[in-house]
Amino acid sequence: MATVLSIRRDLVDAIVEHARRDHPDEACGVIAGPEGSDRPERLIPMLNAARSPTFYEFDSMDLLRLYRELDDNDEVPVVIYHSHTATEAYPSRTDIAYANEPGAHYVLVSTREPDTYEFRSFRIVDGVVTEEEVQVTDGE
């Protein structure tokens, strides 16, 4: 399994923009990619059904629609992202407990500082958190 997330700059910018737009609530979403590719391509911002500054959850109907759409497009969730609004970009106990996509990169963005942000990626498998390098690319 890769320990590097390679992601386009426009996707990083879109995640950060989504996180800032939803602040002070946590933002969340998915970046889909072709099945078997580990290549994040299509950003799908989701609604934080909890509407909370300390917790996020996907609406169950939104999630069902998302997985049907991914199946129809032969895509998988390559990146699952959310923001932390008052703490560092590191998975909380709740984040770890709810991480159920062992093949996904879990991206966290911290918007606790208004003029900057922290962008980190993790693998979370069976409750074990491993930080991975993030390589930001300019294109394909």
Q: What is the pLDDT of residue 65?
A: 97
* Predicted confidence pLDDT, tens digits, the chain (140 residues): 558 999 999 999 999 999 999 999 999 999 999 999 999 999 999 999 999 999 999 999 999 999 999 999 999 999 999 999 999 999 999 999 999 999 999 999 999 998 999 999 999 999 999 999 999 999 76
DSSP string over the chain: ---EEEEEHHHHHHHHHHHHHHTTSPPEEEEEEETT-----EEEEE-BTT--SS---B-HHHHHHHHHHHHHTTEEEEEEEEEESSS-SS--HHHHHH---TTSEEEEEE--STT--EEEEEEEETTEEEEEEEEEES--
**All domains of the chain, ordered by start, with CATH?**
4-137 (3.40.140.10)
Q: What is the pLDDT of residue 114?
A: 86
